[in-house]
Structure 1
Amino acid sequence: MDKPVADILANMDLYAEDQREHLLDALAVAREESPVLRTEADDGYYVVTRYEDVRTVCAHPEIFSSVQPGLRGVPVRLIPLDVDPPDHRLFREFLNRYFSRSFLLRYEEEIRRIAREAIAAFIDTGEVEFVHGFSVPFSAGSLARIVFATDNADLVSRGVAAVHRAALESTPDSFQAVAVLAVEAMAEVENSPAGREDVLAALTTATVDGRPLSTEERLGIVTTLLLGGLDTTRGMIVNIGYHLATRDDVEPILRAPNWWRGELDEFLRFEPTVSFMARTVTRDTELAGTPLKVGDRIAVHFYAANRDPQRFDRPDELVFGRATNPHLAFGSGIHHCLGRGFARIQLAIAFEELLARATNFHLKPGADIPRRAGVSLNSPAELHLTFDRRGSHR
């Protein structure tokens, strides 16, 4: 075993930058030798690495509570992410309508316009810093216009920065900064004209179990939408962009009709943008032979589960054409990602519009590709690409 891997296994820290480079190798060893690995980082927790064990945890919220889903603690509500049964169902029933594919597709042309505006800013130059030049303005713009229904560019810009910091640090201060923006967003909704039809406007009149939502619940939902809608889609667009620039087979795949119904799942399996989430043990139990006690914290590691060779052939390769792909990039169980449909729509439109204008993507020679540890493991923080422009846009 390599020394860096052995050192990580001795005390794994999922946020440590000096462990990032060898973390996946360490998780692979843990899957074989210690699938529920104990670490003393952040006051101690267990890392669940096997696919079936992750599924087990997600399927039993009565044993593994989501009330505190941030590994380092979250000082604000994250509804419905931090709600256990039976109340969880009440919030999901209200929210599901606004994230159904049929509801979101009414905004298709608006999402396409946002993509075209982002592309127009760089298409004549033949190069782009893909993170901040395309992924951030597109994903943030889509969330702002469709979910938040705002033209407040300053609020959106501050939201992007705050959410990215929370994804990297997951500290109480970083989550509190997102919550402050949620207060501002909610105030904007409450002061807007009547007639808005979006999830934020609905919060002002929605009821759960026959009562109006409390202020804390409203802000908890807004905070969750900020966290879930900004950094995750941004990261996936960037990850796919990297493969577009480094593999000849990716551009034809992205140009195929309905690629988002099949091959997108392989991108999601290979590099889920939410690497892990936390659970709290509510009663003494055992998982994969490891005894767990009430109050123990565990990190459900979706990234590691998606690389489990017991579930996926050639797990450490990006393999297109898999017959089935039951990845866990969107989680599992009752907390299966609320925004998964919105993410698929955004990703399909992002690359359809991009490839209508550009082709032949490559990494810019000599440019660094900085990556980070944390929840968004390994997603590039910067990605400088070159490309050839295609003919005039339709």
Structure 2
Amino acid sequence: MTADPTPLVDPRTYVDGVPYRLLAALRATSPVVWVEEPPLLGLPGGPGFWLVLRHADVTDVLRQPRLFSSWLGATQIRDPATGEDLDYVRRMMLNMDPPEHGRLRRPVARSFNPRAVAAVEASIRANAVMLVEHALGDADEGVCDFARDLAADLPLLTLADVLGVPEPDRWLLYDWSNRVIGFQDPDYAVSAAFDPQAGTEAARAALRHRPAPDPDGRMPDPRTRTGMADLYAYAHLLAESKRRDPGRDVMSILLAQQGDERLATEEFENMFWLFAVAGNETVRNGLPGAMIALLEHPAQMERLRQEPALFDTAVDELLRWWTPVMVFRRTATEDTTIAGVPVRAGDKVVVSFTSANRDESVFVEPDRLDLARHPNPHLVFGHGPHFCLGAHLARCQVRALLEALLASTASVAYAGAPTYLRSNFQRGVKRLPIRWRRR
């Protein structure tokens, strides 16, 4: 009997963890399965989609943008509510196909290459040590929330530096990410962790544009421009500051492109959205995910503590084991096949990174955490022309924080059960209580 893939589209499924057994059963049956989209959590149903499960087929889809488009229907499973909404999100680099995608990517790519990351590595390491020492304090042992006290702030500090956001405003990025990624989770959908009194005048001015919840407590769709009006207001206020005093940060680079009329206003706004939200959220959930991997494998954690050189391969394995971004969507531009399965023009095609990263034909004992795994061709950062710009930066942050924590502690263990995000897109960790003991 064929397994039912319907639970995979329900965000509530992931509150209890990823259904790996279901994915493995589906993967063993067929490389591509059809998934229905019933109405869920107050959102309308959709036409359904093809879910691509195996590593080889996922890479084939991602390397063929002419056949499997990011632009045609954008890259989220759920279709934008209106044609106007689709037109707007199509101006985001993430939702473009070559050559337009390359036009936006090339100017900022140098800010994320290995040389650029090496230039900020010392700052990242210093921030990681600072956060660990602040969380541990002067006590010999204690309890903290790894997700909030450690993993949330490091990518915010890093983005403040790389993107050019004033450090006091960094928790705005946290709220924006919560609202976008946690749109279907009531704990995150109306996030308001930022303290206006601690931020800049630009931040306070932007907050006046923050949309309010409706009578049911629901915020507007964050994929629409009105749903993130405060983010876009802040982007333009920050742009005014950068025009007066440009730097070497990503915002200044973007504005130079806009000044040359190579970057439209909508493209600038969407680029800021992409860096402020996606650049934060993936690392923020990859960090506690990596910690959970070690907590679930204490012998591996101790080995890593004793052999720091193992971090050279461990970071990629920790990210593979967790896989923060579970899926991405493409749209078929013409009738075709995937692994022999017929796909029609206009069909949604969703690649499962979670499934591909546990593909038995690629990874020996894929459910086992092997910190020395090599080679490790995981797809955490995607594949093809949309390979993640921030991959080097993400790896650096994961290594820095875990190195700092393991160097300062003799032991780390669960102090309670993790709490997971209600989302079928991001494998998020809302709370991760840990008990630690100093060296």
* TM-score, structure 1 normalization: 0.88
Distance 2:294 2:331 in 1: 39
The more displaced of 59-68 and 223-232 is: 223-232
Distance 2:183 2:30 in 1: 26
Are the aligned partners of 1:15 and 1:169 in contact in 2 as well (CA < 8 Å)? no
Distance 1:73 1:163 in 2: 20
**Does structure 1 residue 145 correspond to structure 2 residue 161?**
yes
Spell out structure 1 runs of 4+ moving beyond 6 A: none
Q: 1:346 maps to what in 2? A: 397
SS of 1:318's equivalent in the other structure is: coil
Distance 2:330 2:282 in 1: 20
Are the aligned partners of 2:300 and 2:371 in contact in 1 as well (CA < 8 Å)? no
Q: 2:35 maps to what in 1? A: 39
Q: 2:424 maps to what in 1? A: 374
Give the total of aligned pairs: 379
Which ranges of structure 2 fall in alignment gaps of 5 or more residues? Answer: 38-44, 185-218
> Residue 104 of structure 1: which of 109, 117, 140 is its match?
117
Q: 2:338 maps to what in 1? A: 287
**Does structure 1 residue 270 correspond to structure 2 residue 321?**
yes
Following TM superposition, by how much is the alpha carbon of 1:216 offset from its aligned partner in structure 2, in angstroms? 0.7
Following TM superposition, by how much is the alpha carbon of 1:72 offset from its aligned partner in structure 2, in angstroms? 1.4
Seen in structure 2, the aligned counterparts of structure 1 residues 322 and 105 have a Cα distance that, compared at 3 Å, is closer
Which ranges of structure 1 fall in alignment gaps of 5 or more residues? Answer: none
**Does structure 1 residue 55 correspond to structure 2 residue 63?**
no
Q: 1:85 maps to what in 2? A: 98
What RMSD over aligned residues (CA atoms) do the two structures have, in Å?
2.4
Seen in structure 2, the aligned counterparts of structure 1 residues 72 and 254 have a Cα distance that, compared at 3 Å, is farther
1:23-76 per-residue CA deviation (whole Å, 9 max, x = no partner) reads 222111111213211122141111111111101101111010011011114544
Distance 1:13 1:264 in 2: 27
Distance 2:387 2:338 in 1: 21
Distance 2:360 2:334 in 1: 30
Are the aligned partners of 1:140 and 1:230 in contact in 2 as well (CA < 8 Å)? yes
Following TM superposition, by how much is the alpha carbon of 1:217 offset from its aligned partner in structure 2, in angstroms? 0.8
Distance 1:93 1:173 in 2: 30
Distance 1:254 1:281 in 2: 46
Are the aligned partners of 1:159 and 1:178 in contact in 2 as well (CA < 8 Å)? no
Q: Which amino acid aligns with 1:185?
A: A
Q: Which amino acid aligns with 1:23?
A: P
SS of 1:286's equivalent in the other structure is: strand
Distance 2:384 2:162 in 1: 27
1:224-276 per-residue CA deviation (whole Å, 9 max, x = no partner) reads 11222111111111012123334122243256445443121111221111111
Distance 1:206 1:228 in 2: 21
**Does structure 1 residue 131 correspond to structure 2 residue 147?**
yes
Q: 1:173 maps to what in 2? A: 221
The more displaced of 100-109 and 304-313 is: 100-109
Are the aligned partners of 2:66 and 2:333 in contact in 1 as well (CA < 8 Å)? yes
Q: 2:78 maps to what in 1? A: 72
Following TM superposition, by how much is the alpha carbon of 1:370 offset from its aligned partner in structure 2, in angstroms? 1.7
Distance 1:179 1:49 in 2: 36
Following TM superposition, by how much is the alpha carbon of 1:22 offset from its aligned partner in structure 2, in angstroms? 6.5
* TM-score, structure 2 normalization: 0.80
Percent identity reads: 27
Q: 1:30 maps to what in 2? A: 26
Are the aligned partners of 1:167 and 1:374 in contact in 2 as well (CA < 8 Å)? no
1:300-339 to 2 correspondence within 5 Å? 300-339=351-390
The more displaced of 318-327 and 74-83 is: 74-83
Distance 1:325 1:271 in 2: 14
Following TM superposition, by how much is the alpha carbon of 1:178 offset from its aligned partner in structure 2, in angstroms? 4.6
Q: Which amino acid aligns with 1:84?
A: D
Q: 1:242 maps to what in 2? A: 292
**Does structure 1 residue 297 correspond to structure 2 residue 348?**
yes
Distance 2:236 2:398 in 1: 27
Distance 2:31 2:107 in 1: 37
1:181-233 per-residue CA deviation (whole Å, 9 max, x = no partner) reads 1441342132244241101111111269x743111111111111122211111
Distance 1:122 1:381 in 2: 17
Q: 2:176 maps to what in 1? A: 162
> Residue 213 of structure 1: which of 232, 252, 263 is its match?
263
SS of 1:387's equivalent in the other structure is: strand
Q: 1:384 maps to what in 2? A: 433
Are the aligned partners of 2:127 and 2:154 in contact in 1 as well (CA < 8 Å)? yes
